[in-house]
Amino acid sequence: MYIQYNEKKQLAWIIHESRLPPMQALIAATRNCADLSKVLDKLGTVEEGKLADLIR
């Protein structure tokens, strides 16, 4: 999964609606989605050899 230009709004929505702590919400929005989409070998976590768009 990749998060587009409004990633901050999407993550804020996940945190608010799920009532998850921010770190768990980030994992739900990245790693878990990549795993469910069967692309965890390429996306979803920041590791050497994987694709990533880092945001700040």
pLDDT at residue 11 tops 60? yes
The pair of structure tokens assigned to 41 is 């070998």
Residue 28's domain comprises 1-56
Structural domains in the chain (count): 1
- For residues 26 and 31, give the distance between their C-alpha atoms in angstroms, rounded to a whole number: 8
Q: What are phi and psi of 12, to 5 degrees?
A: -60, -40
Residue 38 DSSP symbol: T
pLDDT at residue 1 tops 50? no
* Pairwise pLDDT comparison (9 vs 1), residue with the higher score: 9
| Mean pLDDT of all residues belonging to the chain | 83
pLDDT at 9: 81
- Which pLDDT tens digit goes with each residue over 29-47? 889 989 999 999 999 998 9
Residue 36 DSSP symbol: H
